[in-house]
Amino acid sequence: MARTTEEYIADRKRFMDKIISIYCRKNHGGDALCEECSELRDYAFMKIDKCGHNASKTRCKDCPGTCYSKEMHDRIDDVVEFSGPRMILHPILLLKDRY
């Protein structure tokens, strides 16, 4: 069953929130996001909301456009590289990101 655009956006935000939370907790300590990671999450959420491809694409890495600045793209890459392997503990979020 296909997801609506609103469901897709909500799933993308949940996924980004989770990977950033994992990264922050393991690298910066504490249960709450630090200022740097909060800024990155807010930036990612803004880009997800403004994305013109939300209705037609399945994953950001498959997107034909580049909406993140170089600095933020590098930061997100670091977060995904670190948190990706740890997402095995959250299989539902992984499956929603794939389908």
pLDDT, one tens digit per residue, over 18-59 is: 899 989 998 998 889 999 999 999 999 999 898 877 666 656
Torsion angle defined by CA atoms of residues 78, 94, 60 and 63, in that order, rounded to the nearest 10 degrees = 130
Tokens of 15: 């996924």
Domain residue extents for the chain:
5-98
Predicted confidence (pLDDT) at residue 97 exceeds the cutoff of 70: no
pTM: 0.79
Three-class DSSP labels, 26-86 = HHHCCCCCCHHHHHHHHHHHHHHHHCCCCCCCCCHHHCCCCCCCHHHHHHHHHHHHHHHHH
Residue 49 or residue 94, greater confidence? 49
Predicted confidence (pLDDT) at residue 66 exceeds the cutoff of 80: no
Q: What's the N-to-C CA distance of the chain in angstroms?
A: 9
Contact (Cβ atoms closer than 8 angstroms) between residue 43 and residue 70: no
Tell me the C-alpha distance between 66 and 53, whole Å: 11
